[in-house]
Structure 1
Amino acid sequence: MIQTFADWLVYGVMGLQADSALGTAVNFFFYDTIKILILLFFISIIMGIINAYFPIERLRHYLTSHRLYGLQYFLASLFGAITPFCSCSSIPLFIGFVKGGIPLGVTFAYLITSPLVNEVAVAMFIGTFGLRITVIYVVSGILLGMIGGYVLGKMKLEPYLSDWVKQIQQGATNESNLWEKEHTPFFHRLPSIIREAWNIVKGVLVYILIGIGIGAFMHGYVPEGFFEHYMAKDNWLAVPISVLLAIPMYANAAGIVPVIEVFVSKGIPIGTALAFMMAVVGLSLPEATLLKKVMTWRLIAIFFGVITLFIIFLGYLFNIVL
């Protein structure tokens, strides 16, 4: 239905030719924009319902008051998956975890997964790559957060936290019952959940339009073989090159998924494309700058280095299984 509407609008109303570069690009833009915005809105409502009954304060209280024998990495990674944040937006909550005394490895599990897996990424992946690849991507993102957080936690990196964090931790006092809230019936919460879902859509709308616009341009105008030359399947260095090139960039899932869709459509292996995306959304220079408030540069370099290696490994693995 969406494709039929896009065809009618672009080729019928606007009068563009279906076999022209401009017509192809504009059709791609309208189709992907409508499809992704509809998916994002409804998935944001679902995630809003989950968030309403899984508050941040309760997670913090639970992680600091129970021995979970490794389960805390899964919980933190899962919480990162259901929060609608990009890498830079995740950092204030990450800082709150560190200040609250939650183990550093657990906070890393959250920070790794949060930008990689959220309703924006899920909505766009379902609409772009289908359910199978979406499930594989989501599970991989959660596992990456769990394993990466566990490895970083075992490295005993607490001495490399910033002096600001150490001072706050030393002077912190336990606050009991911080997460207790008055129960509100579901149907009383639903209007605010819908408003929040709409706010999420509005908040990423610019990124969606820019990302789809870039993707549409590439879809219509980038010559065949341009990206394949640098990220081809027979180039065994394509995955690490893609990841290293992506780290200086910054975008969230809304901005990068349409670009990845075009990469794949032009023959780039999906594992290489997904590794590029993970590096763009999960590791960036703006994120490193914000993390400087709570980490020394050595800790930031260790964090980026470990996650870069894991993403490269996932890129090769995706190319094998997908």
Structure 2
Amino acid sequence: MMFDPFYPFDWLATQIVEKLFGLSLESHLGASLHFFFYDVPKVLSLLLTISFVVGTFQSFLQPEKVRDWLGGKRTVVGNSMAAGVGIVTPFCSCSAVPLFIGFLEAGVPLGVTFSYLISAPMVNEVAVILLWGLFGLRVTVMYIGFGVILAIAAGYAIGLLKLEPWVEPFVWELQKIRQKEGTEPREIEEIELTWKQGLEQGQYQATEIVKTVWPYVVGGIAIGAGIHGYAPEDLVARVAGAGNPLAVPIAVVMGVPLYANIAGVLPITEALVSKGMALGTVLSFTMAVTALSLPEIVILRKVLRPQLLGVFIGLMTMGIVSVGYLFNAVL
């Protein structure tokens, strides 16, 4: 029998439902409570453990170092490097504007910059941890793979289109000022951390992440528990199942305004999958939440003209919808 690291949580949830509340796991309320008491400790323990590991590694990476690595890199090699670095760096869409300006000032091509800005929030540790805990390693690896491919392809396309004139002029003015003053943005002061400091930073980051997102996790799991126990399976399957050809684009549109609630959204989608929602639809929804969020669009408008912003939104929408259909075809 395969080892199940989450078996203690399943056993404890079963004991609470059957012994403490005297309910059957087959009843609506019993199924809902088991879902809640199983998922809360499972997701929070995963979040704490993996956030510590990722946070420790991230402590040795600084935005200036990333900017320096990507400076001058062009073509698909640069896009691939940018998307890969985006996986392991802690920057989210809230950092989009300063990173965007800093990257361009350092000579990072526009398309490479976009590959990084797409990858960093979409394949972030919170989304990956929750996907792993809720849907397993295979789905998580596929999500990461398709996310990286999408970041590379979209950034490469933007680079080919030569859309630099659609960046707000003040960005290029800042670059000219730096060059005129003889300031080389890639000349950075290296700050070397010891492993002890890195572990302390990892512990701090893990604690802060859990403190920040636990209400969303618990709230999302509570809603998911209600769906799991009471939502009619035939209704969910009919509206968001693989049989509805419009389910994927609808899910993408719904995901756009929900960036801040990613930690609470995935437990809800887990319940929807258990009721018949196609997994590819769920994953396209997750990508839209993390990489095409309304907050990010509003922030990027400060440095992008509407034409370039429209190209970015169009490419990402087509890519995420395509990935959703592909997921549904292979999962």
Q: CA deviation at 1:87?
A: 3.6
Per-residue CA shift, 1:184-229, capped at 9, x if unaligned? 3213431222122211221222222232222222212322222222
1:112 has 2:118 as partner: yes
State the identity %. Answer: 43
Per-residue CA shift, 1:134-183, capped at 9, x if unaligned? 111111111111111111121222211223323322212313531412x3
Per-residue CA shift, 1:238-258, capped at 9, x if unaligned? 222322333344345422221
Does the aligned pair in 2 maintain the 1:90–1:115 contact within 8 Å?
no
Q: Could you tell me which of 125, 128, 131 is aligned with 2:137?
A: 131
Q: Could you tell me which of 271, 274, 293 is aligned with 1:284?
A: 293
**39-48 vs 187-196, which moves further:** 187-196
1:55 has 2:62 as partner: yes
Question: 1:229 and 1:76, CA in 2 relative to 1: closer, same or farther beyond 3 A?
Answer: same
* Equivalent residue number for residue 174 of structure 1: 184
CA distance in 2, matches of 1:244, 1:292: 19
TM-score (normalised: structure 1): 0.90
CA distance in 1, matches of 2:13, 2:91: 30
* Equivalent residue number for residue 282 of structure 2: 273
**80-89 vs 264-273, which moves further:** 80-89
1:211-290 aligned within 5 A: 211-290=220-299
**130-139 vs 252-261, which moves further:** 252-261
TM-score (normalised: structure 2): 0.88
Question: 1:290 and 1:102, CA in 2 relative to 1: closer, same or farther beyond 3 A?
Answer: same
Tell me how many residue pairs correspond in the alignment.
320
* Equivalent residue number for residue 3 of structure 2: none
CA distance in 1, matches of 2:174, 2:74: 25
1:64-103 aligned within 5 A: 64=71, 66-67=72-73, 69-88=75-94, 90-103=96-109
Question: 1:243 and 1:184, CA in 2 relative to 1: closer, same or farther beyond 3 A?
Answer: closer
1:34 has 2:44 as partner: no
| Amino acid of the structure 1 residue aligned with 2:208 | N
Structure 1: gaps spanning 5 or more residues: none
RMSD: 2.3
Per-residue CA shift, 1:12-62, capped at 9, x if unaligned? 335555344333223212221211111111111221232233332112112
* Equivalent residue number for residue 293 of structure 1: 302
CA distance in 2, matches of 1:145, 1:291: 16
Question: 1:67 and 1:148, CA in 2 relative to 1: closer, same or farther beyond 3 A?
Answer: closer
| Amino acid of the structure 2 residue aligned with 1:178 | I
CA distance in 2, matches of 1:17, 1:77: 48
Structure 2: gaps spanning 5 or more residues: 1-7
Does the aligned pair in 2 maintain the 1:55–1:179 contact within 8 Å?
no
| Amino acid of the structure 2 residue aligned with 1:153 | G
CA distance in 2, matches of 1:8, 1:102: 56
1:155-166 aligned within 5 A: 155-166=161-172
**86-95 vs 122-131, which moves further:** 86-95
Q: Could you tell me which of 269, 291, 316 is aligned with 1:307?
A: 316
Does the aligned pair in 1 maintain the 2:70–2:108 contact within 8 Å?
yes
Per-residue CA shift, 1:257-307, capped at 9, x if unaligned? 212212211112211221122112221222211112111222222111110
**214-223 vs 149-158, which moves further:** 214-223
DSSP-derived class of the 2:233 partner: coil
